[in-house]
Chain A
Amino acid sequence: MATKIPGTKEAREVLKKNKIAIAGVGETEQGKIPDKSSFHFLSLASKLAIEDAGIKKSDVDGLVTAFSLVEHTFMHCTTFADYFGLRPRFFSSIAIGGATAVWMAAEAAMAIASGQAEVVLCVRGDNTLSGISSSGMVALIREMCHAEFEFPYGLTTPGGYALAAQRYLHDFGATREHLAAVAVTMRKHAALKENAMNKEPLTVEDVINSRVIAEPLTKYDCSIISDGGAAFIVTTEAKAKELGIKNPLAYLWGMGQGYSHQYLTTLRDLNQIYNAIERSGQKAFQTAGIEHKDVDVAFLYDCFTITVLLELEGLGFVPKGEGGPFALEGRMEIGKDLPVNTHGGLLSQAHLGAMHHVVEAVLQLRGTAAGPRQVKDAEVALVHGNGGIVSAHSTIVLGKEPL
């Protein structure tokens, strides 16, 4: 049994009292779209989410953005407010890598619960694929490792994840096939998602035989790079009613974070990563008052195949070392034990942090919105984000009904 995490009772009371929920979502087209800028995508995604909620732009009084890998701004949220013509009374930019999108929902909830805003637009968009310069790409790689004590050895971002993967294979006797199976499931799901970038079927052999990037990882173990935007709107049930929002709401049931390290150099062992994932997950689980069996659909950060296995295990869906067989047996597919990333994830749909993971979780809970990807009777969804090299974690639990 997991240890009791402090603060969950307090968090639960706040979420229960305010009935905080995601009431609108928007996704632009995704892929290689060279004729749109970063702020164009941010604006389009915001517009789509506002229209999806059926509210006016001026109803939005809070704004949470992240960062751009292309347009370097010191104050991203207010730069976007200026561009889009918003006058928020609450604004914040979150920069915790892949843990960002999930935490945007939590940040919005905390802002709402403390009276800072009532309708918070959370948005990310970037033209990473078309717009990033080669020096920008190098700067990004440099950012992901220690510039002074790691980067001079030629460590790349896939290389950092390969270091984690190699140790994982060693500790648990896992195989290349186990990692590859994650990419295969994501591709199957992407085939059902309209705006997914990569839909051609993929086999375990295809993954293993694709170009080697950093052993043990090959091209298809690595997420794609794409252009696009996505947004969601967080508010309360009462405010949603007042504004006449007709969408079924996706209620925020729990949230949590877990920190392991920033640089792999300071990592003690894989357990340190597992503990951070577990802490993040357990805070969200215990706040939501649910167990693993209650989760109908999960969204796990899949920047590389290895992260999905670490998250499945760290969150406690399967015992340590058993994520690989779980993936290989197809148990993450729609209709199976635990559908994971029904939209195709970062490995096959698009890469915008976990924005699409959050959006798809909301669509799943609406009941019919996910079309052919719909998980039958989905009532509880979990979304987990990971930033850095499996270093910073955030988790939310969303429910179809109020907490």
Chain B
Amino acid sequence: MAENKAYEKPLPEFRPETKPYWDACKKHELVLPRSKVTGEFFFYPRALSPGEDMSEDLEWVKASGKAKVWTYAIHHMGPTKAYKGDPPYVVALVETSEGVKMMTNIVDCDPRDVRIGMDVEVVFDDVTDEVTLPKFKPVK
């Protein structure tokens, strides 16, 4: 892919409560929010724990980066014109070793080889100067 070509696919718009997540991604670190009150991880990041505790006392914990494919869909059509030429690509819901689910792409692998239950690990895709998307690839 031409490095200088503008990235025209949808990008996340950061919110105050999600910015630490994206800042860590930029440093190629996957962090997950956890309530200090209940000790439970949650995802996606929110300003208050979505648990019964409703706590704002949260911490960002470095994740193992290990996950299993919970389900996946091989996309033959993208949501915008910017995806032209990409399909087939895999959008997957993976369950991390910390027990949360994340939507992601499975990369570095033939879409036909993706299976539910497959072990995957995080890789970082620096899609723009500001945004790095964590994606997952099969564990060799």
Interface, chain A (partner B; CB < 8 A): 134, 138, 141-142, 145-156, 158-160, 162-167, 170, 211-217, 263-267
CB neighbours (8 Å) of B10 from chain A are 142, 147, 151-152, 154
**From B75, B83, B101, B116, contact of A266 by CB (8 A):** B101
**From A134, A138, A214, contact of B73 by CB (8 A):** A214
In the bound complex, how far is the Cα of B90 from the Cα of A200, in angstroms? 33
Q: How far is the CB of B97 from chain A (nearest CB, A)?
A: 16
CB neighbours (8 Å) of A149 from chain B are 12, 43-44, 102-103
| Residues B116 and A154 in contact, CB atoms below 8 Å apart | no
| Residues B15 and A154 in contact, CB atoms below 8 Å apart | no
Tell whether B3 is near chain A: CB-to-CB under 8 Å.
Answer: no
| Most central of B10, B70, B78, B135 by chain A CB within 10 Å | B10
Closest to B115 in A: A170
| Residues A265 and B103 in contact, CB atoms below 8 Å apart | yes
Number of residues on chain B facing chain A (CB within 8 A): 39
Question: A152-B11, A154-B9 in contact; A263/B73 too (CB < 8 A)?
Answer: no
| Residues B103 and A166 in contact, CB atoms below 8 Å apart | no
Q: How far is the CB of A27 from chain B (nearest CB, A)?
A: 31
In the bound complex, how far is the Cα of B79 from the Cα of A211, in angstroms? 16
**From A141, A145, A153, A170, contact of B105 by CB (8 A):** A153
Question: A149-B103, A170-B116 in contact; A155/B12 too (CB < 8 A)?
Answer: no
The 22 listed contacts between A and B (C-beta, < 8 Å) are A148-B15, A148-B18, A153-B103, A153-B105, A154-B10, A154-B91, A155-B79, A156-B78, A159-B91, A160-B73, A167-B116, A170-B71, A170-B116, A212-B76, A213-B77, A214-B76, A215-B73, A217-B73, A265-B43, A265-B101, A265-B103, A266-B50
| Residues B101 and A154 in contact, CB atoms below 8 Å apart | no
Tell whether B41 is near chain A: CB-to-CB under 8 Å.
Answer: no
**From A145, A152, A159, A211, contact of B75 by CB (8 A):** A159
CB neighbours (8 Å) of B103 from chain A are 145-146, 149-150, 153, 155, 264-265
Tell whether B133 is near chain A: CB-to-CB under 8 Å.
Answer: yes
Query: A148-B12, A163-B92, A167-B71 known; 17 other A-B pairs, CB under 8 Å?
Result: A134-B81, A138-B80, A142-B79, A149-B12, A153-B135, A154-B78, A154-B89, A156-B78, A159-B73, A163-B71, A166-B71, A212-B74, A212-B76, A265-B93, A265-B101, A265-B103, A266-B101
Q: Report the tally of A-B residue pairs with Cβ distances under 8 A.
A: 115
Closest to B81 in A: A134
Interface string of B88-131 (1 = CB under 8 A from A): 11011100000001111100000000001000000000000001
Which chain B residues numbered 8 to 47 have a C-beta less than 8 Å away from chain A?
9-15, 18, 43-44
Tell whether B72 is near chain A: CB-to-CB under 8 Å.
Answer: yes
**From B9, B77, B105, B135, contact of A156 by CB (8 A):** B77
Interface string of B34-69 (1 = CB under 8 A from A): 000000000110000010000000000000000000
| Residues B12 and A152 in contact, CB atoms below 8 Å apart | yes
Q: How far is the CB of B98 from chain A (nearest CB, A)?
A: 14
Q: How far is the CB of A263 from chain B (nearest CB, A)?
A: 7
In the bound complex, how far is the Cα of B71 from the Cα of A265, in angstroms? 11
CB neighbours (8 Å) of B79 from chain A are 138, 141-142, 151, 154-156
